[in-house]
Amino acid sequence: MPYLRIHFTEVDLGRTRLASRIDHMWEIVNAVQLLQHREGGLYFDGWRRWVRQEALAEPRLQRLLCTLQHIAPHAEYFPDFLTPAGGFDDLGDALDAVVSVPKSRLRTEMALLGCESAPSRAIADGGAPALHGLRAALGGFYRAAVQPRLEVVEAARHADLAHRMHTLLHDGVEAMLTGMAPGAVWEPPVLRLPYVVDSDLPLAGRGLRLVPCYFSLQGPVALADPGLPPTVAFPLDPATRLLAAERRPGDHLGALVGTTRAAILRLVLDGCSTRELIRRTGVAPATITHHTTILRDAGMIATQRDGAVASHHITPLGLRVLHRTG
């Protein structure tokens, strides 16, 4: 069986990080690939049918799919520039990063793809019209096929993140790493992941960014160029997709803990200072302090202080509550 062998140093273990926000580009690429095969029917057949029905009714979506399937095929390779490193909060910033790579890199990666379609050749040449069209195709596909399902995607990601944070806190980083895929093996200092081809990824002190993906199905995927910032995207725990799809709509969290505490719990998902909570909720400072104290005492948030600045972060328990209640 081929493996991806990721070589860690002690520094790399400390710099391993789990993406807490959705990575728009990894989700787009994985979603495009899901439409090119029939696997994972239990989780994705309903979504596939819906996208194809939309495409039949909207010729523009058909053209978007045709363009994207050429450059993000369901195959062993797709160009790294489609999934820029680092992650971006805003889809527009992510799309800008995709079309801002140097022309030499575009040519190299598109040559590795080996696609000779006219749109692919135009992208490889790096002309402004072709890159503008690629940006429009990626953004249009996201809005048509991913965004309508975003609530379910985020619910599944939050549940998966809660589980992995729990594993990290209770069992350590090695247990979290081996939990990325069935058959993963940790043989210090190397993590072996079942892969499509034999490959080695030396981290060399750069750390590793882990990206859980809702639309991913096939197993972990690393950037093809080992010189790029080390990144591995991998599928969510399948159970989280099913649980997220079964949720009933509505603000059950607000009904459970109150609307202000619910808002605070959502805002601290990626970390938030007291001053920022006050600004974003419009609630008085004393009231915010009262609510954060209650959430902290309940084990749903943790607070770190740096001088006069208090920063609040969600805990694994808070993530579980957030997921189960919407």
Token output for 169 = 């806190």
Residue 99 amino acid letter: V
- Kindly state the average pLDDT of the residues 49-60: 88
Round the average pLDDT of the chain to a whole number and report it.
88
CA 181 distance to own-chain centroid: 16
Q: How far apart are CA 281 and CA 264, in angstroms?
A: 8
pLDDT tens, 88-146? Answer: 889 999 999 999 999 999 999 999 998 778 888 899 999 999 999 999 999 999 999 99
> Residue 299 CB: number of other CB atoms within 10 A?
12
What per-residue confidence (pLDDT) applies to 246? Answer: 47
Concatenated DSSP letters for 118-183?
HHHHHHHHT-HHHHHHHHHHHHHHIIIIIGGGHHHHHHHHHHHHHHHHHHHHHH-HHHHHHTTSTT
Please, how many CA atoms are within 13 Å of residue 72, restricted to the half-sphere of its CB? Answer: 26
All domains in the chain, ordered by first residue: 3-20+152-245 (no CATH), 24-149 (no CATH), 250-325 (1.10.10.10)
What's the pLDDT tens digit per position in 213-246? 999 988 999 999 999 999 999 999 887 776 555 4
What pLDDT, on a 0 to 100 scale, did the predictor assign at position 15? 94
Q: Residue 61: is its pLDDT beyond 90?
A: no
8-state DSSP, 204: T
Which of 41-50, 139-148, 306-315 is the least confident region? 306-315
Confidence band (pLDDT; 50, 70, 90) for 326? low
pLDDT in tens, 260-269: 888 888 888 7
Q: Left if phi > 0, otherwise alpha if psi is -120 to 50, otherwise beta: which for 268? A: alpha
What pLDDT does 281 receive? 84
* Residue 15 near residue 206, CB atoms below 8 Å: yes
Sign of CA dihedral 23, 29, 35, 37: negative
How much of the chain exceeds pLDDT 70, in percent?
Answer: 94
Q: Would the pLDDT of 303 be above 80? A: yes
Confidence of residue 186 (pLDDT cuts 50, 70, 90): very high
CB atoms within 10 A of CB 121: 12
- Alpha helix stretches (DSSP H) within 58-117: 59-71, 91-98, 103-113
CA separation, residue 58 to residues 52, 55, 141, 150 (Å): 10, 5, 12, 21
CA distance 82 to 60: 21
